[in-house]
Amino acid sequence: MTAKDKSAARFREAMSRVPMAVHVVTTDGPGGRHGATATAVTSVTDAPPTLLVCLNRTSAIAAKALANGIVAVSTLREDHEPVARAFARSSGGRPDDRFEVGRWERRVTGAPVLVDAIASFEGRVTATHEVGSHVVLMVELDGVIAPETEREGLLYRRRAYASAAEARAADPADA
């Protein structure tokens, strides 16, 4: 294993210890409908409201999101692990049944949004930047919904899904 490979492995291991919110990124339009589970989503600014979304450059979701120019991001609840798993599997670019898991509707952009998500964001891809194996999308938001809920978000930590409460209980020293 080269020093570069070891460095990448250390980085992946370190990042696996960081609890991250789990989202499903979706798109639809002339380039086709698709969705994928993602943790590399973060806010950039509120003026204008903008998200940063990282997608693997070779993935079907990246190609379709770029072709459509729109995405929706649905932030998953603690009980949405089946949704996360359905959208985490590879489709090989072919249509599949992932949208049959969960309740989806179209709102502002036409991209599918998970109805009972903790929060949902929809917008236009306004800039892209390729970094290594990924493409970084800047998404200027046209629609944001944050319904009242008592549910916690679904997290991904140490290569497993967990609620925030489960993550705290599993490793109280990190709480």
pLDDT tens digits for range 82-107: 999 999 987 766 667 999 999 999 99
pLDDT tens per residue across span 13-36: 898 788 899 999 999 999 999 999
Position 1 in a domain: no
Position 63 in a domain: yes
Residue 39 has pLDDT above 80, yes or no: yes
Query: Is residue 117 included in any domain, yes or no?
Result: yes
Range of the domain at 133: 11-165
Average pLDDT, stretch 48-69? 97
DSSP alpha helix (H) spans, the chain: 3-16, 60-68, 81-88, 164-170
Q: Is 59 part of a structural domain of the chain?
A: yes
pTM above 0.85, yes or no: yes
CB 128, CB 137: distance < 8 Å: yes
pLDDT digits (tens, 9 = 90+) for 111-166: 999 999 999 999 999 999 999 999 999 999 999 999 987 889 999 988 889 887 77
What pLDDT is stored for residue 174 in this prediction? 52
Query: Is residue 2 one of the residues assigned to a domain?
Result: no
Number of domains in the chain: 1
Hey, what are 77's tokens? 């609840």
| CATH at 81 | 2.30.110.10
Q: Length of the chain in residues, anyone? A: 175
Specify the pLDDT at position 57. 95
4 in a structural domain:
no
Would residue 92 count as lying in a domain? yes
Task: Check residues 2 and 73 and name the one with the higher pLDDT.
Answer: 73
Q: In terms of Cα–Cα distance, which of 110, 116, 112, 107 is closest to 144?
A: 107
Q: For residue 3, what are the CA distances in angstroms to 6, 8, 83, 123?
A: 5, 9, 37, 40
Q: Is residue 119 part of a domain?
A: yes
